[in-house]
Structure 1
């Protein structure tokens, strides 16, 4: 399976943007995270990962 270089560039750019958003925008304030919020974020990240796997299958 040969993955084009453009796909790798898009993946790296997407991961960099998500990391910057996670570190500097979403979690700017320190707070105690509830179980509900942790579960919600877990579902979001799981769906993003599954969506990416779906794109790779296409």
Structure 2
């Protein structure tokens, strides 16, 4: 399996974050509270992973310079 570069991972995670935020905004009030809480926890995990990958991508660029 080929590894996805840190910069691409950060970009893809940002797309997932946008999707999750959109779902929560559009459907969160229509779903049971436990589902919304689960999706909010997933969103927090995506945001943390994205920040980690953005940091790694910056480190990669700094190392290459």
Report if TM-score (shorter chain) is over 0.5.
no
Instruction: Name the TM-score, length of structure 1 as normaliser.
Output: 0.43
Q: Of Structure 1 and Structure 2, which has the larger fraction of its residues in helix?
A: 2
Instruction: Name the TM-score, length of structure 2 as normaliser.
Output: 0.39
